[in-house]
Amino acid sequence: MKSEIEVKFLNVDFDEVREKLRKLGGKCEQPMRLMKRVTIETPELLQKKSYVRVRDEGDKVTLTYKQFDSLSVDGAKEIEIVVSNFEDTVALLAAAGLPQNSFQESKRETWKVEEIEVVLDEWPWLHPYIEIEGESEDALKDVAARLGFDWKDALFGGVTIAYREQYPHLDPIDNNSIGQIAEIKFGDPLPELLIP
């Protein structure tokens, strides 16, 4: 499995981040686009702090096994392949006994600064955040500092960590608590799980 080396910074102003990225010579590789995904979580997967995801990224569809060995800069591990069709892949997995737990929408804009990927992420009921991903922790720290972020504010893990920061009443042990929400869609009312 491949280790992902990534970090999140929450509650950001996208316009400020874009301006700083431009000053660093960053290039927008993909403008803000709607993404959709389904997650699959079985008791066996949850025991390993993992899940399976099918995601339509706008320009491609991916099937991913994701596992969180720890909430650290390199704690996320994944195996990802490109598939040809979102709906057919979801149907294939359901037919194999792996039905979806949650349908989720998000919006994402992808930038590149040298060899570092910076994504601007927007999720329903969540303040905007960025994720920085690269080949080493030092490279991430360098770009984060040049963008004006303090490493002491860095967060590690999946999107649940961002929801947990904004909604601190969520179970601190359940790494996939938002997977309990059947649909996470823009324009929908705040779900009961997120109401304190």
| Whole-angstrom distance, CA of residue 191 vs CA of residue 194 | 6
User: Do the beta carbons of residue 120 and residue 1 sit within 8 Å?
Assistant: no
Does the pLDDT of residue 175 top 60, yes or no?
A: no
In a domain, 173, yes or no: yes
pTM here? 0.92
In a domain, 195, yes or no: no
pLDDT value, residue 118:
98
In a domain, 194, yes or no: no
Residue 173 domain boundaries = 2-187
Average pLDDT of the chain, as a whole number: 94
In a domain, 193, yes or no: no
Does the pLDDT of residue 15 top 90, yes or no?
A: yes
Does the pLDDT of residue 172 top 70, yes or no?
A: no
| Whole-angstrom distance, CA of residue 117 vs CA of residue 119 | 6
DSSP string, 141-184: HHHHHHTT--GGG-B-SSHHHHHHHHSTTS-SS-TTGGGGSSEE
What total of structural domains would you count in the chain? Answer: 1
Does the pLDDT of residue 174 top 60, yes or no?
A: no
In a domain, 142, yes or no: yes
Does the pLDDT of residue 23 top 70, yes or no?
A: yes
Share of the chain above pLDDT 70, in %: 97
In a domain, 151, yes or no: yes
In a domain, 117, yes or no: yes
In a domain, 196, yes or no: no
**CATH at residue 61:** 2.40.320.10
